[in-house]
Amino acid sequence: MPSVFTWTVRVYYEDTDAGGIVYYANYLKFFERARTEWLRSLGIHQQSLLDEESAAFVVRSAAVDYLASARLDDEVTLTLHVEKLGRASVQFAQQAWRGETLLSTANVKVGCVDAQTMRPRSLPASTAVKMRTD
**Full pLDDT tens readout for the chain, 134 residues:** 458 999 999 999 999 999 999 999 999 999 999 999 999 999 999 999 999 999 999 999 999 999 999 999 999 999 999 999 999 999 999 999 999 999 999 999 999 999 999 999 999 999 999 998 64
Active site residue 17: yes
Task: Tell me the longest C-alpha to C-alpha distance in the chain.
Answer: 46
Residues in the chain: 134
Residue 132: its pLDDT value, please? 87
Kindly report the backbone phi and psi dihedral angles of residue 129, in degrees, each rounded to the nearest multiple of 5, phi listed first. Answer: -65, -45
Residue in 17, 51, 65, 73 annotated catalytic: 17
Domains present along the chain, CATH in parentheses:
5-132 (3.10.129.10)
CA distance between the termini of the chain: 5
Give the distance, in angstroms, between the CA of residue 68 and the centroid of all CA atoms in the same chain.
Answer: 20
Cβ proximity of 91 and 109 under 8 Å: yes
